[in-house]
Each structure stands twice: as structure tokens, then as C-alpha cells.
Structure 1
Amino acid sequence: MTADDVSRVQGVEMDDTQVDRTLEELGHGTLSLAQAGDAYGVPVSFGYDGDRVFLYLLRFGDDSKKLAFVDDTNTASLTAYEMDSKFDWRSVIVSGSLHDVDDEDVEHMEEVMEDNAWFPTIFPPTEPITGSKRVELRVAEATGRKGEEYD
């Protein structure tokens, strides 16, 4: 890879409008959590209202490593990205604190999730969903980059 290729692969920084648009359009990513120095990343669907990221964290069976990590994570990180080629891509990283969704915000969360979350059918048929937790990621920082060919 030439120096010019490296420069092109690194992409360019997104402005706030592009970051917001990416979060609204993608609706899925990887939530990274931490507990006692251990990292744990999980695929998630999310909704974004311009200020907060909303997530349903599902439990299968009796225990949930994800939910245990959520309770111990001080700062979470969400990565959302899409890639069509090495020069046509975009990615956003959001960091902030996780909080239970207040009762008065549940209806708003459900509207946001319906509007821009992506819900794949990836749930194991042999393990029924035994619980869920409504969580909001309060955005402390959101940054993004895009490849030079991304419009």
C-alpha cells in the first residue's frame, strides 16, 4: 500500500450533522462494555434521537453477561459502521454513560427505536428471551470518519 493509499484509507473527519445522520440511518452496531479490566463487545440495535442512544438489552436464559457488564461499566462505547470498499465507508464512535430509561421516556424511546433501529432476526430459537432492559447511552462524545469516496 502506497503512502497515498494509506492517506485515502484513513478517511476524513465527519462533521456533527454527518455523525447524527449516520447514527439515525444505521441503527445497529457494537456496544463495548467493561468490568474489572475486562472488555465485552456485543452486537446491538439502537435508536438515536439526536441526543441519546436507546437500546433494548435482551436476556436469554437465567443469566446475562451483557447485563452484568452494563451495571459495572462507567463509560460505554458504541461503534456503528458500514463499508462498501476500502475507500467507501463510514464509522461513528459514541461514548458516554449508560442509564436505565426513565418511565416517562419509555414511549419516546419506543418511537425512536421504531423510527431508526434495525431489528435483525438473530435470536437463537432454542433460547427464548427471558427479559430485557431499556437503556440509554447519554452521549458524552460522538466522532466519525468516512472514506473519501463516501457521499
Structure 2
Amino acid sequence: MTVDELTEYDVVRMTAEEMQGFLSSHSVGVLGLPTEGAPSLRPMSFWFDGGSTLYLLYILGEGSRKADLSDRADVARFLVYSAETMFNWRSVLLTGTVDPVPESEWDELQAAVEEAWRPDVFRQAITDDNVRLYGFEIADQTGLKSAGLPPAFEKGATDDGGK
């Protein structure tokens, strides 16, 4: 089923402004990186600059696969979603590139990136030598939302097809 076919079920495309607001109000998503086999999917906290970049703080262990895959990726995906109820949900799928941010740019981004939500265990694990900042440059984005009841749940609908 295509996105356009879903409109009959109250699923609509989000506007650019809605996607920007959604990304600005969330801080966790899933990073998809290509591999030779199945894609590598990683839950990540992020900070959105309000324009075209997400910033991801990598906490690296020895031989970090996430950093290696990011460094080799020509293209990546990032999914941010929220599902308040089965009838009220939103998702934004981003396609772009992910690259290390030069350390010379870290100071201007540090406060905002550090404020991004992340599990406390990761905050505790941060040291000066195990952190790398990456920027996800958004090349394409698609947002979908459903904020209504399907036709069968609308007022006046009956189980007998309206008979």
C-alpha cells in the first residue's frame, strides 16, 4: 500500500514546518547504516539544529562498529517517531549523510548537544577520549501522521455497514 492510498485511513503527509517542529521537540530516533548484510539499526539521542542537521554524540568503545559503519556510509537513514495511541502517531524518515564534526566546531555546539536527552548510563560513560560528534546532514525527508479515527470508528458508524 502506498502513502497516497493511506489517506483514506486519515494518514497524511506532514508539511515541512510540521516536520521541523516534530524534530525540534524530540531527541531520540533510530540511525540506519548500510552493511553488507542487513542494515545496522542503532537507537540514538540527537539534537536538531532547526535547519538541516541532526547532531549525534557517539560514545565509542574499542573497535566501535557504529563509528566504522558511519565513516564508510555514503548514505544513511534516521527515523524519529511518536505513537501516542494507535490512532494518533507521527513519523519522520530522513535520508542523508553522516560525518564526523571537526573538533574545531565542537565548542559552538557543545551546550546544545549536551542538553539532548540520553540514558543516564551514557552520560556516566562519557570521558574526554571516548566521544565523537557526528552530523547527519538531511538530504530528503518524509513525514507522515495520523490524528484521526478510521472511518469505522467515526460517530454514527455501525457494525452492519450502516444498515
For the superposition of Structure 1 and Structure 2, which TM-score range results when normalised by the shorter chain?
0.7 to 0.9
- Cα-Cα RMSD: 2.6
CA distance in 2, matches of 1:6, 1:18: 17
Specify which structure has the bigger relative contact order, considering alpha-carbon pairs within 8 angstroms and separated by 6 or more residues: 1
Match of 1:147 in 2: 146
Say if 2:48 and 2:55, in contact at 8 Å, map to a contact too. Answer: yes
Match of 1:33 in 2: 33
Secondary structure class of the residue paired with 2:34: strand
Using the TM superposition, give the Cα deviation of residue 109 of structure 1 relative to its aligned residue in structure 2, in angstroms.
Answer: 2.3
The residue identity in structure 2 corresponding to 1:138 is E
Match of 1:14 in 2: 14
Match of 1:49 in 2: 49
TM-score, with structure 2 as normaliser: 0.75
Aligned residue pairs, count: 141
Using the TM superposition, give the Cα deviation of residue 103 of structure 1 relative to its aligned residue in structure 2, in angstroms.
Answer: 3.3
Identity of counterpart residues, as a percentage? 25
The residue identity in structure 1 corresponding to 2:58 is L
Structure 2 alignment gaps of length 5 or more: 1-5, 149-163
Structure whose residues are more often strand by fraction: 1
TM-score, with structure 1 as normaliser: 0.81
Match of 1:137 in 2: 136
Say if 2:70 and 2:99, in contact at 8 Å, map to a contact too. Answer: no
Secondary structure class of the residue paired with 2:106: helix
Match of 1:106 in 2: 106
Say if 2:71 and 2:99, in contact at 8 Å, map to a contact too. Answer: no
- Which of structures 1 and 2 has the bigger CA Rg? 2
Change (3 A) 1:118 1:102: same
Structure 1 alignment gaps of length 5 or more: none
